[in-house]
Structure 1
Amino acid sequence: MTAAGVQWPWRDALAELLRRTRLAQPDGLATEVDAALAPMGLRTWIYLVDQEQRILRPVPRPDAARPDELAVDSTVAGRVFMSVEQVPVPATGTDPARLWLPLLDGTERLGVLEVIVRGDTPLDDPDLLAGCDLFSQLVGHLIATKMPYGDALLKVRRVRRMSEASELLWRLLPPLTFACHRAVVAAILEPCYEVGGDGFDYAADGSTLYFSIFDTAGHELRAGLGTAVVMSAVRAARRSGDGLSAMARAADRALEEHLPELRFTTAVLAQLDLETGRLRYINAGHPCPLLIRQGTVVRSLDGGRRLPLGLDDPQIEVADLMLARGDRILLFSDGITEARDRAGEAFGTGRLTDLVERDTGNLPAPEALRRLCHAALSHYDGPPSDDATLVLVEWSEAGVRAMLPSAGQT
């Protein structure tokens, strides 16, 4: 059923939700969402995924006892989060029927919405499915809109205190997922509560997609400040119309001027022509990205070499190659490949390649990265000793479609 076919009660519910949330604080959003559907005999719970994307945590409401947290990898709600699909659960005993729906801001996975269905409404009712789909889409956008205005929703996603460097960088980074008609960008950053100098960025304008990854030498706040300076310099140059070489030189000058005591920042700066698949990139001392084609790592991108940012290099080379439709580019920091187990053995590019080819070939980009990162972190003997960042860029209309909810699209 299309949005135009949704019956008036659902349109009234959407209008009521917008009316109720116009002046709502972030900590009151869950209450207003539940109240908007109550006249239809439906109740709701919002679950947000934690920063590490392992647990779905309920957003508290003062009018109801808070339900349990739900594991992403072993629950129905987690399956909805991973697959971005509606899942109905029939009534059992005293438990009413319910419908689980993904909560998205565009294509950014925020969590899930539980809609509790009382009475005799069948779970396969087209009006119910289409109405809940539209309602959950609006809730996802409202969560993203309200989150910056208070701490309540941010605190739901955290299981412990975040370091000063992490607070700085998470406020500067773009969302972890972006999709347009022709490409997908997904990223993940760990340990999310103690990020030091890792970061990433992207921007899509017209037929060009810019993307980058950064790793400033050092740890904690000073490394975070270095990455913040580099990202700001690159963005300022890009928004002034500069090319890749000029962006790199802008970062060189910014580090030299503002943080001369820092050693350097490694980075990959890239731009992709979304019409032709032409990829141009500079590698400033960073691990070489991997080119993935039809689920197989076919080569590392070892061109475009120059010194790390902050070490002015007049001999900048811009690498150039053509992608095929469906190709993926995987960028990663050395915190992934240098993770060491109890015996001191590094995770390595070989293991990363094996995981890419064995476990993630058919998965949508965000879920592929979530599993890759967790597998790499499990290799550590104890807490991670360095930042671990992954960025996956996919030039593929099919890859975009795989990220869209299948229910409610007919």
Structure 2
Amino acid sequence: MNWSTLGTGVYLACSFFLFLLGMVILRENFRSRVNRTTAFMLFFGGLGALFAAVGTTLARTGTLTAGAAYENWYNLFYIWELFFPALLLFALVFPRETETVRRWRFLRYSIFLPHLFHIFWVSFFTSPEKLSTSLSLEQFGPVAKALLSPFAYVFRVIALFLAVAYKFHIRFFSLVNLSYAALAIGLLFARQAAFPNLRVKSQVRLILAGLGLAMALYTAAFILPALFDFTLSEPLRFALTIGALVVGCGAVGWAILRYQFMDVRVIFRQNLVYFLSTGFLVAVYILSVAQLARYVRNVLGAKTPALEIGFILLALVFFQPVMEKLDDLIKRLFIRQRSDFRNLMERFSRELVSIFDLNQISARVTGLLEKELFIERAVLLLAVSDAQGTLLTLSSGNEVLVQNVSSGDPLLKALLSRKQPTYLDTVLPEKTDEGLARLLVGVGAKITVPILDEGRFVGLLALGEKVSGFRYSPEDMTLLGVLANQLSIATANARLYAETLEKQRMEEELALARQIQQNLLPARLPCSAEYEFASYVRPSRQVGGDFYDFMWREPRLGFVLADASGKGMPAALLVAFLQATLKAEHRHDRPIGEFIRSINELMVANTSPEKFVTLFYALFDPLEKKLFYSNAGHNYPILVRQNGQLEYLKKGGTVVGCFEWARYESDCMHLHPGDTLIVYSDGLTDASNHDEMFGEERLVQLALESRHLDAKGVKDKIVDAVETFTGSVPPFDDMTLLVMKTR
């Protein structure tokens, strides 16, 4: 095999590759200027390789010799040089048109003018030296010669100038091609730094490297010999040319397979597999079946059509398996990269397992889509729905956008009814200045992907145009549908995780508040020769609204039991305020009624009307055995005399914290040794099992039965009875019990 045969094969292979790729790109989106420009650039590149293959074949076979036919064929070869202005235009429009091209539209066409003029000149002035001899005056007479002689001289001068200009043009026009290529490479290099998509940057860098090396080889093979008038050996010229084509085509092919150049990897791979499968079967036929048929014909002396028929049947059976094997081979060799959709979803699923922050999920998924699918902009809108409508929140960098969308929004209904990736223009209403339509149009959405969790709307993916200008492929749509399902799970997990963290934080805060509230209760109960106390507190939640405290006003002992409205933290805060107020006001020596009235006024001034407190306050004089008290809307404390007589401490007034005008009475009880005073909150008597409440009657009965016990014994008997009665039913309200026993 000589150099020309090898060169012809490489030329044809590169021509086939470039034509196929150009057709795929052009067919994918003919309306896109980027696609058209890229396809025409590849077409002219493939045309050059095709012309080179045909010219090499004709020269090797001697079909063309020097003469008019040779000159016409050689001049036709110049058409491929339109590749260079197409390359420059590609540098101006990929992946998006520059501002210069958008503003000066004529520039897109003017860059082709030098080459069109070049083709016109070499086509119609193939032999300019003939012009100088075309006007002969020999056939004219003396008078005509004298008259035409000046014109003939001028014509010969013009012809001589054109001949010199033609030779100069042919020799040095390659500098124009070189300038176009250098300018295109420089533009791509300068623009790639501003490309937002990292994958597009990788594409451009790879193509730049391939173009630069290919142009260097092409320059060494053709431009330098033309400029400096020297001739390369045939093998060296073929080697440089083949190297330029292989490097250029290889860079484009690798950019497709590894970096999804122009987003045609899948389509191109399918076409390539089809042609390779066909070529493989044709090669098998030529190398085996045809040779076997010839051998059988020589042996038998007759044709055997059964071999051809059998091969056709086998080809029909094995064509699809061969295609699948080739497809798997190509994917294993070239497409083991991260952007394979199955690998992509597996990797994304693994990442989502460890991401529980909605902002991080949004940043990860939008970044992945922009990088892997070449989308100009992808945004994730998360929804919080209620009876009034849906609140969509978009976080993009430092931008936070919140949009209220009514539950009856027509666009939202249309998207939810489809439950799959949808082109926005197919469902967009006429009015786009309100609701969801305004939001999606504002972010430049072209595709919308609803995210549903068991039929509940949880968000929306809004995707812009592709950087390549291509439509979304069926494979893209499948990926987006799977991604929406993954996002549904991820957002649900993130929200659940956030709720768990919030609950944990609240529990920690409540535990701290409970500890603080426990510390506010008396660490030790007062006890003397004249009296003793026992107490029990059980909040229905971490913190409660019940409390008791002791305050000395020598020689008297003051004590209080209060029950704040509500439960949990609000009630605990109200209790803390009340406790601080009680301690501050207790320093003033005033009658009990005035003391409670002062507390009430402070509560009214500093709390809302729905926040109130019931309380029982008493002041015990151990020397005189007198108990002064006031009951502000609280459960009546039970006084059990040693002889079993019952008395209820009712004197006082209304609850504290509601009415500024409220006034409070007080009373005095004489206590005797062995008397028992039981002060409690309503949570004790309201404690219930599955059928009924514990009730005041049971409490009174227990008080009578345990009156002979000490304070702790009375408290334990009552608490045990309540816990036995309620069983496993948790308390509905805070329970507080304070028992005083006189000695």
Scaled to the shorter chain, the TM-score interval is 0.5 to 0.7
Question: In structure 2, how many angstroms separate the alpha carbons of the residues matched to 1:304 and 1:388?
Answer: 22
Q: CA deviation at 1:291?
A: 0.5
1:171 matched residue in structure 2: 519
User: 1:166-205 alignment to 2 at 5 Å?
Assistant: 166-175=514-523, 177-191=525-539, 194-205=542-553
Mark the CA change 1:221 to 1:214 in structure 2 (over 3 Å): closer, same or farther: same
Code of the residue aligned with 1:291 in structure 2: it is: L
2:672 pairs with one of 309, 317, 324:
324
Code of the residue aligned with 1:348 in structure 2: it is: G
Question: In structure 2, how many angstroms separate the alpha carbons of the residues matched to 1:241 and 1:161?
Answer: 38
- The answer to whether residue 734 in structure 2 is matched with residue 387 in structure 1 is yes
Question: In structure 1, how many angstroms separate the alpha carbons of the residues matched to 2:659 and 2:517?
Answer: 23
Question: In structure 1, how many angstroms separate the alpha carbons of the residues matched to 2:686 and 2:594?
Answer: 31
2:696 matched residue in structure 1: 349
Q: CA deviation at 1:383?
A: 0.7
Contact 2:613–2:655 at 8 Å: present in 1 too? no
User: 1:115-134 alignment to 2 at 5 Å?
Assistant: none
1:132 matched residue in structure 2: none
TM-score, with length taken from structure 2:
0.30
Deviations 1:116-148 (A, max 9, x none): xxxxxxxxxxxxxxxxxxxxxxxxxxxxxxxxx
- The answer to whether residue 713 in structure 2 is matched with residue 367 in structure 1 is yes
2:597 pairs with one of 224, 232, 249:
249
Contact 2:612–2:655 at 8 Å: present in 1 too? no
Q: CA deviation at 1:220?
A: 0.5
Structure 1 runs (4+) greater than 6 angstroms displaced? none
2:31 matched residue in structure 1: none
Contact 1:284–1:306 at 8 Å: present in 2 too? yes
Question: In structure 1, how many angstroms separate the alpha carbons of the residues matched to 2:644 and 2:543?
Answer: 30
Report the 3-state secondary structure (helix = DSSP H, G, I; strand = E; otherwise coil) of the residue aligned with 2:570: helix
Code of the residue aligned with 1:235 in structure 2: it is: K
Report the 3-state secondary structure (helix = DSSP H, G, I; strand = E; otherwise coil) of the residue aligned with 2:704: helix
Q: CA deviation at 1:192?
A: 7.8
Mark the CA change 1:167 to 1:257 in structure 2 (over 3 Å): closer, same or farther: farther
Question: In structure 2, how many angstroms separate the alpha carbons of the residues matched to 1:190 and 1:331?
Answer: 15
Question: In structure 2, how many angstroms separate the alpha carbons of the residues matched to 1:330 and 1:210?
Answer: 15
Contact 2:603–2:656 at 8 Å: present in 1 too? no
Structure 2: tracts of 5 or more residues without a match: 1-507
Code of the residue aligned with 2:583 in structure 1: it is: R
Question: In structure 1, how many angstroms separate the alpha carbons of the residues matched to 2:739 and 2:624?
Answer: 19
Report the 3-state secondary structure (helix = DSSP H, G, I; strand = E; otherwise coil) of the residue aligned with 1:175: coil
Give RMSD over aligned pairs.
2.4
Structure 1: tracts of 5 or more residues without a match: 1-159, 397-410
Question: In structure 1, how many angstroms separate the alpha carbons of the residues matched to 2:651 and 2:609?
Answer: 29
Code of the residue aligned with 1:323 in structure 2: it is: L
Higher helix share: 2
- The answer to whether residue 635 in structure 2 is matched with residue 287 in structure 1 is yes
Question: In structure 1, how many angstroms separate the alpha carbons of the residues matched to 2:723 and 2:603?
Answer: 30
User: 1:203-352 alignment to 2 at 5 Å?
Assistant: 203-260=551-608, 262-294=610-642, 296=644, 298-343=646-691, 345-352=692-699
Deviates more, 1:181-190 or 1:293-302: 293-302
Mark the CA change 1:310 to 1:175 in structure 2 (over 3 Å): closer, same or farther: farther
2:722 pairs with one of 354, 370, 376:
376
Mark the CA change 1:315 to 1:255 in structure 2 (over 3 Å): closer, same or farther: closer
How many residue pairs get aligned? The number is 235
Report the 3-state secondary structure (helix = DSSP H, G, I; strand = E; otherwise coil) of the residue aligned with 1:231: helix
Code of the residue aligned with 1:347 in structure 2: it is: F
Q: CA deviation at 1:165?
A: 4.5
Question: In structure 2, how many angstroms separate the alpha carbons of the residues matched to 1:378 and 1:313?
Answer: 43
Q: CA deviation at 1:208?
A: 0.8
Question: In structure 2, how many angstroms separate the alpha carbons of the residues matched to 1:222 and 1:173?
Answer: 18
Question: In structure 1, how many angstroms separate the alpha carbons of the residues matched to 2:527 and 2:636?
Answer: 24
Question: In structure 2, how many angstroms separate the alpha carbons of the residues matched to 1:180 and 1:379?
Answer: 34
Deviates more, 1:364-373 or 1:217-226: 364-373
Mark the CA change 1:185 to 1:203 in structure 2 (over 3 Å): closer, same or farther: farther
Higher strand share: 1
1:95 matched residue in structure 2: none
Q: CA deviation at 1:167?
A: 2.6
Mark the CA change 1:313 to 1:291 in structure 2 (over 3 Å): closer, same or farther: farther
Contact 2:638–2:677 at 8 Å: present in 1 too? yes
Question: In structure 2, how many angstroms separate the alpha carbons of the residues matched to 1:176 and 1:387?
Answer: 21
Identity of aligned residues (%): 26
Q: CA deviation at 1:313?
A: 4.2
Code of the residue aligned with 1:245 in structure 2: it is: G
Contact 2:688–2:729 at 8 Å: present in 1 too? no
Question: In structure 1, how many angstroms separate the alpha carbons of the residues matched to 2:581 and 2:664?
Answer: 17
